[in-house]
Amino acid sequence: MYLLRRIFKCKPGEARRVASLVRKQADAFQEAGLRSECRVYFNGATTPSGPDTVVLEWTDDVLRSTFRAGVQLPQAVRDIGGQVAQLTEGNRIEMMELMTPDKMLDV
C-alpha cells in the first residue's frame, strides 16, 4: 500500500482557488474509478506551514500511471488540469510505502 501526495506551489493568493479545482479533479478521478478517496488541504497564508501551497493526498495498492494503456481520462480531469496549471508555479509528487501489518518486522 502506498501514500501518494502531490504538492502544488500556487501563485500568490490562489491557494484556495487551486484547492477547490484540485478537489473537483480528484472527485472526477474517483468517479471514473481511477483513484481512491482523496484529501485536499491548503494554506493560503492562514496557518504556519508554507504559504500558497495545496496538497492532494490518496492511497493506492500499487503505483500506476494514469497514462497506462486502456485508461480514458475524463474530460473534466483534463480541463481542470489546464486551469490548475495556469494558477500554479509548479508541483511535485511524493510516494511513500505505508507500514501495514504484513510488512512489520518482529522487533
Dump pLDDT digits (tens) for 22-59.
999 999 999 998 899 999 999 977 788 888 999 999 99
Q: Give whole-number Cα distances, 12 to 8, 16, 18, 27, 62, in Å.
A: 12, 10, 11, 25, 35
Q: What is the mean pLDDT of residues 62-69?
A: 86
What CATH number was assigned to the domain covering residues 2-64+72-98?
A: 3.30.70.100
Q: How confident is the model at residue 76 (pLDDT cuts 50, 70, 90)?
A: very high
Phi, psi angles (nearest 5°) of residue 77: -60, -45
Q: Give whole-number Cα distances, 40 to 7, 8, 26, 107, in Å.
A: 10, 11, 9, 35
Q: What is the mean pLDDT of residues 69-76?
A: 88
